Amino acid sequence: MIKWCRQHANWTVSDWGNVMFTDESRFALQPYDKRVRVRREQDTRNRPENITEHHAFRGGNIMVWAGISSGYRTDLHIYRRGSVTAVRYREEVLDPILKLHAAAVGPSFVLMDDTARPHRAAIVDNFLECKGIERMECPSYSPDLNPIENIWNALGRAVCRCFPHPAALSDLETALQEEWRLLDSAVVNHLGTSMITRCTLCI
């Protein structure tokens, strides 16, 4: 991670403006934030009657993909039915969404994604090479170096504030799309240009 930050320490705002930061994220219909909430007598926390089991994605969940860059954000893509595969990543994201933005930016366009298995499959590598799209790999275990992680947090909080709260996956999908559309563009633009500070703090 430090090596990566040093390699990009001299990048300017203009340089980072060519990078599209991308990622997937999962949103649960009934999110569980891992905080413990119990009403009990003192020193009885671990008694069976005071313990409730929680599941990380109760009620179903939705996997989404998006990308942000300085002055731009993609539409929020919903992965419907089934898991994310390399074929789906190419056919649902890279070809219809990313390719168009890369063409608009030109040869200076850079894609940042992570090392998830679907992203590193041969068919994805071949597609990017064929389209002349340069890739920048986000360092492993370094979510702070991909500013879209901040956007996911903001989106999740916005959906949690929705009233009434989504009661079905179709409601959750609608809420995610609407709140994505309403995200403050100034916040998105700032995150895209915050990489100079992020790299400096890392070093």
Which CATH number is 96's domain given?
Answer: 3.30.420.10
Helix, strand, coil content of the chain in percent (nearest 5)? 45, 20, 35
Residue 54's pLDDT is what?
Answer: 40
Phi, psi of 69, rounded to the nearest 5 degrees: -150, 175
Q: Does residue 167 register a pLDDT over 70?
A: yes
Residue 200's pLDDT is what?
Answer: 87
Mean pLDDT over 152-157 rounds to 94
3-state secondary structure (DSSP) of residue 34: coil
- The domain total for the chain is 1
Mean pLDDT over 155-183 rounds to 94
ω before 118 within 30° of 0 (cis)? no
3-state secondary structure (DSSP) of residue 89: helix
Task: For residue 152, give its domain range.
Answer: 1-202
Q: Which residues of 70-82 are buried (b: 16+ CB within 10 A; e: fewer)?
A: bebbbebbbbeee
Q: Does residue 55 register a pLDDT over 60?
A: no
User: At a CB cut-off of 8 Å and minimum separation 6, what does 57 contact?
Assistant: 26, 28, 29, 32
Of 3-7, 41-45, 65-69, the one with minimum mean pLDDT is: 41-45
